[in-house]
Structure 1
Amino acid sequence: MIYCGIDWAEKHHDVVLIDESGQLLAKRRITDDAAGYQVLLDLLAEHEDTQDEPIPVAIETNRGLLVAVLRTGARQVYAINPLAAARYRDRHSVSRKKSDLGDALVLANILRTDQYAHRPLPDDSEQARAVAVLARAQQDATWNRQQVGNQLRSLLREYYPAALAAFAHWKNGLCRPEALALLKAAPTPADAARLTRPQIAAALRRAGRQRGIEAETERLREIFRAEWAHHPPLVEKALGRQMLALLAQLEAACTAVDDLAHAVEEAFLQHKDAEIILSFPGLGTQLGARVLAELGDDRNRFADARGLKAYARSSPIARASGKKSSITRRRIKNDRLNHAGYLWVFSALRASPGAMARYRHRREACGDWHASALRNVFNSLIGQLHHCLQHDKVFDEPAAFPAPNAPRRLPDPDSPRPISATAPKFAPQRSDLRLLCLCDSH
Structure 2
Amino acid sequence: MKSASNTLPEIPPNDVTAGIDWARDDHAVCIVDARGREVARALVEHTAAGLRDLITFLRRHGAGEVAIERPDGPVIDTLLGAELTVVVISPNQVKNLRGRYGSAGNKDDRFDAFVLADTLRTDRARLRRLEPDTAETVALRRACRARKDLVTHRVALGNQLRAHLRNVFPGAVGLFADIDSGISLAFLTRFTTQDQADWLTPKRLGEWLARTGYPGRTSPEVLHTRLRAAPRGVTGPDADTQANITKALVAVLATLVEQIKTLTAQIGRQLQDHADQHIFTSLPRSGTVRAARLLAEIGDCRAKFPTPDSLACLAGVAPSTRQSGKLRAVGFRWACDKQLRDAVTDFAGDSRHANPWAADLYDRAIARGHDHPHAVRVLARAWLYVIWHCWQDHTAYDQARHHALQRVLAEAGNPPHRQAA
Q: TM-score, normalised by structure 1?
A: 0.81
Relative to 1, partners in 2 of residues 1:39 and 1:371: Cα closer, same or farther, differing over 3 Å? closer
Q: 2 CA distance for matches of 1:294 and 1:219?
A: 45
Q: Which among 40, 46, 49 is matched to residue 32 of structure 1?
A: 46
Output aligned runs, 1:5-154, within 5 Å. Answer: 5-48=19-62, 55-72=64-81, 74-95=83-104, 99-154=108-163
RMSD: 2.8
Aligned counterpart, 2:171: 162
Aligned counterpart, 2:194: 189
Q: Which moved more, 1:138-147 or 1:396-405?
A: 396-405
Q: Is 1:178 equivalent to 2:175 in the alignment?
A: no
- Give how far 1:291 is off: 0.7
- Give how far 1:389 is off: 1.0
Q: Which among 357, 366, 378 is matched to residue 376 of structure 1?
A: 378
Q: 2 CA distance for matches of 1:321 and 1:13?
A: 39
Q: 2 CA distance for matches of 1:144 and 1:65?
A: 26
Q: Is the CA contact (8 Å cut-off) linking 2:356 and 2:408 kept in structure 1?
A: no
Aligned-pair identity in percent equals 28
Relative to 1, partners in 2 of residues 1:384 and 1:194: Cα closer, same or farther, differing over 3 Å? same
- Give how far 1:72 is off: 1.6
Q: Which among 253, 258, 281 is matched to residue 256 of structure 2?
A: 253
Q: 1 CA distance for matches of 2:319 and 2:85?
A: 30
Q: Which among 383, 390, 393 is matched to residue 392 of structure 2?
A: 390
Q: Is the CA contact (8 Å cut-off) linking 1:132 and 1:294 kept in structure 2?
A: yes
1:187-243 deviation line (CA, Å, top 9, x unaligned): 12122212467874575456543676xx74444444444573344634433322222
Matched residue of 1:124: which SS? coil
1:16-72 deviation line (CA, Å, top 9, x unaligned): 2222212222222222211111111112222335xxxxx222223333322221122
- Give how far 1:12 is off: 2.1
1:275-322 deviation line (CA, Å, top 9, x unaligned): 011112221211011111111000010120111111122222322222
- Give how far 1:81 is off: 2.6
Q: 2 CA distance for matches of 1:259 and 1:332?
A: 33
Relative to 1, partners in 2 of residues 1:255 and 1:337: Cα closer, same or farther, differing over 3 Å? same
Relative to 1, partners in 2 of residues 1:120 and 1:137: Cα closer, same or farther, differing over 3 Å? farther
1:58-90 deviation line (CA, Å, top 9, x unaligned): 223333322221122543323333333233233
1:256-287 deviation line (CA, Å, top 9, x unaligned): 21111011111111111110111122212110
1:345-400 deviation line (CA, Å, top 9, x unaligned): 23322222222233344445x56554443332221111111011111222132432
Structure 1's unaligned 5+ residue stretches are: 50-54, 410-442
Q: 1 CA distance for matches of 2:211 and 2:124?
A: 60
Aligned counterpart, 1:273: 276
Q: Is 1:334 equivalent to 2:342 in the alignment?
A: no
Q: Is the CA contact (8 Å cut-off) linking 2:19 and 2:116 kept in structure 1?
A: yes
Relative to 1, partners in 2 of residues 1:108 and 1:234: Cα closer, same or farther, differing over 3 Å? farther
Supply the AA of the counterpart residue of 2:167. E
Aligned counterpart, 2:299: 296
Q: 1 CA distance for matches of 2:309 and 2:281?
A: 22
Supply the AA of the counterpart residue of 2:180. C
Q: 1 CA distance for matches of 2:324 and 2:107?
A: 34
Relative to 1, partners in 2 of residues 1:236 and 1:24: Cα closer, same or farther, differing over 3 Å? same
1:159-199 deviation line (CA, Å, top 9, x unaligned): 211001312xx3xx111111111111121212221246787
Output aligned runs, 1:185-264, within 5 Å. Answer: 185-195=190-200, 200=205, 204=209, 207-209=212-214, 216-226=219-229, 228-231=231-234, 233-264=236-267
Supply the AA of the counterpart residue of 1:8. W
Aligned counterpart, 2:402: 400
Q: Is the CA contact (8 Å cut-off) linking 1:185 and 1:203 kept in structure 2?
A: no
Q: 2 CA distance for matches of 1:345 and 1:401?
A: 18
Q: 2 CA distance for matches of 1:113 and 1:319?
A: 24
Matched residue of 1:20: which SS? coil
Matched residue of 2:32: which SS? strand
Supply the AA of the counterpart residue of 1:58. A
Aligned counterpart, 2:415: none
Q: Is the CA contact (8 Å cut-off) linking 1:193 and 1:224 kept in structure 2?
A: no
Matched residue of 1:315: which SS? coil
Supply the AA of the counterpart residue of 2:281. L
Count the aligned residue pairs. Answer: 397
Aligned counterpart, 1:52: none
Output aligned runs, 1:293-442, within 5 Å. Answer: 293-364=296-367, 366=368, 368-402=370-404, 403-404=406-407
Matched residue of 2:397: which SS? coil
1:105-125 deviation line (CA, Å, top 9, x unaligned): 222122122244444433211
- Give how far 1:104 is off: 1.8
Q: Is the CA contact (8 Å cut-off) linking 2:67 and 2:117 kept in structure 1?
A: yes
Q: Is the CA contact (8 Å cut-off) linking 1:317 and 1:329 kept in structure 2?
A: yes
Matched residue of 1:22: which SS? coil
Q: 2 CA distance for matches of 1:268 and 1:405?
A: 32
- Give how far 1:148 is off: 0.9
Q: TM-score, normalised by structure 2?
A: 0.85
Q: Is the CA contact (8 Å cut-off) linking 2:143 and 2:263 kept in structure 1?
A: yes
- Give how far 1:132 is off: 0.6
Relative to 1, partners in 2 of residues 1:8 and 1:345: Cα closer, same or farther, differing over 3 Å? closer
Q: 2 CA distance for matches of 1:284 and 1:272?
A: 17
